[in-house]
Amino acid sequence: MEAFELLRVNLLSPVVLAFLAGMAATLIRSELEFPQPVLNAISIYLVFSIALQGGTELSEVRLEEVWAPVLAATAAAFLLPIATYLSARRLLKLDVANAAGLAALFGSVSSVTFLAAVGFAEKMGTPSEPFLPALVSIMEWGILVALVIALPGHAKNQEAPWAGLGPIAIETLRGRSVILIISGLIIGFLIGPEGFQPVAPVFKDAFRGVLMLFLLEMGMVAARQLRDFFRLGPRLLIFGTLQPLVHGLIGVAVGHLAGLSPGGAFVFGAICGSASYIDAPVAVRATLPQANPGIYLTTSLGITFPFNLLLGLPLYYQFSLWLD
């Protein structure tokens, strides 16, 4: 399929249109608003659903199919935050705390970008491998790697500068996304396809409709972040688009080398190019309170997320097809 056609298909997909509708609602100052408990329930449902389906299909996967992708995800959890930190320090001239804050978000994974990529791959007739949710849970540890980079400077006045490493690791492991992904994978693996059938109407058939609601809210949030973008200047725009693009294209290539299908390599590249805006900001705020949320959150949610959703996904997919 031609690149222009891929772009058209992506822009006219229900989830992207819902995202754009949310942005429009905020820009015209609409009173549309989701209660926070509803948003929490929706996000829990989405992450748990994809993990449950992945675990169900993972029960039929052989071990030799997963070792190379798992190794690739582990390497990405270390290399992506380091690359982001170095870029933020050298290109944006940020201090240690703000550079580490960006590294934590870009070294982690956006669950919504992952879900959108999985849906895009299925729509194009090239579904991804069922074990990719397991790779997402591994790459969430990029948060820890990024915070460790800043820890010596953050704790330079303490006698034990690495004393905060254990609590950070525990909080990362206890994070909502990690718990939901791991528990969903385990439950799905144990019940298998046959046990999944009774709950499939809830966790599979209704999935895309609920995802549209969540993207509607994300559009509203992203539009509110645009105000901070105009205040902080164009350098964040360049960083927030080029950094994920480089990560994503390299991720696609690594996915192919790890033996993933074209659809699987595309999704792996999409999660490499994504930036967290839910769990990682919480960890950054708790560990590096001096880091400016207007920098790391605006870049992640106001620039990188829309870029990936609108343009990044078709670019990664086209590159994956070209490598195949």
pLDDT in tens, the chain (324 residues): 555 677 677 777 787 888 889 889 988 888 888 888 888 888 888 878 877 877 787 777 777 778 899 899 999 999 999 999 999 999 888 888 889 989 989 998 888 889 889 989 988 899 998 888 878 878 877 877 887 787 665 544 444 444 555 665 566 566 666 677 778 888 988 998 889 999 999 988 888 888 888 878 878 877 876 766 666 678 888 999 999 999 999 999 999 999 999 999 999 999 999 998 766 776 677 677 788 777 887 888 888 988 998 899 999 999 999 998
Is-contact 101 287, C-beta < 8 A?
A: no
Is-contact 244 274, C-beta < 8 A?
A: yes
Asked whether residue 222 is domain-assigned, the answer is: yes
Radius of gyration of the chain from its Cα atoms, rounded to whole angstroms:
19
Q: Can you read off the two tokens belonging to residue 97?
A: 């705390």
106 C-beta neighbours (distance < 10 Å), count: 33
Tens digit of each residue's pLDDT (9 = 90 or more) over 127-149: 998 888 878 878 877 877 887 78
Q: How far apart are CA 17 and CA 12, in angstroms?
A: 6
Is-contact 324 259, C-beta < 8 A?
A: no
Q: For residue 207, what is the domain's CATH number?
A: 1.20.1530.20
Token pair 């964040």 is found at: 236
Asked whether residue 45 is domain-assigned, the answer is: yes
Percent of the chain's residues with pLDDT above 90: 28
Question: How many structural domains are present in the chain?
Answer: 1
Angle, helices 279-287/142-154, rounded to nearest 10 degrees:
10
Helix (H, G, I), strand (E, B) or coil at 258: coil
Question: Which amino acid is it at 262?
Answer: P
Question: Nearest Cα to 151, choosing from 222, 203, 223, 101?
Answer: 101
Q: How far apart are CA 154 and CA 186, in angstroms?
A: 37
Tens digit of each residue's pLDDT (9 = 90 or more) over 67-112: 899 899 999 999 999 999 999 999 888 888 889 989 989 998 888 8
Asked whether residue 232 is domain-assigned, the answer is: yes
The reported pTM is: 0.77
Residue 316 lies in domain: 3-21+33-323
Asked whether residue 58 is domain-assigned, the answer is: yes
Q: Can you read off the two tokens belonging to residue 178?
A: 């990690």
Asked whether residue 227 is domain-assigned, the answer is: yes
Asked whether residue 178 is domain-assigned, the answer is: yes
Asked whether residue 264 is domain-assigned, the answer is: yes
Q: How many residues are present in the chain? A: 324
Asked whether residue 27 is domain-assigned, the answer is: no
Is-contact 288 220, C-beta < 8 A?
A: no
